[in-house]
Structure 1
Amino acid sequence: MTKALSSVLPALVACLWLLAGCTSTANTGAAPSDVLSLRSGATSTADGSLRLVKTLPPPLGTEGGTEQLLSPNDVLEISVFQAESLNKTVQVDASGRISLPLIGVVQAAGKSVRQLEQELEKAYGKSYLQSPDITVFLKDSAGQRVTIDGEVRKAGLYPVTAGTTLLDAIALAGGFRDIADQNKVYVYRDVGGRKLVANYSVEKIRSGRLVNPRIYGGDTVMVFTSESRVAINNLKEALGVAVNASRLAVIP
Structure 2
Amino acid sequence: MDPLDDHFPVTQPHGPRRARGALSSALLLWITTAGICLASQKAAEKPAQDTRGESPATDNVAAPQTAEDYLISPGDILRINVWKEPELTTEVFVRLDGRVTVPLLGDIEAAGRSPNHLASEIQAKLARFLEVPPQVTVTVSQAVSARFFILGEVARSGAYPLQTRTTVLQALSLAGGFGQFAKRERILVIREHKGKKSALRLNYSEIETGGGLDQNIALEAGDVILVP
TM-score range, shorter chain: 0.3 to 0.5
Select the structure of larger CA radius of gyration: 2
Which is helix-richer, 1 or 2? Answer: 1
Q: TM-score, normalised by structure 1?
A: 0.43
Flag the structure with more relative contact order, 1 or 2, with Cα contacts below 8 A and sequence separation at least 6: 1
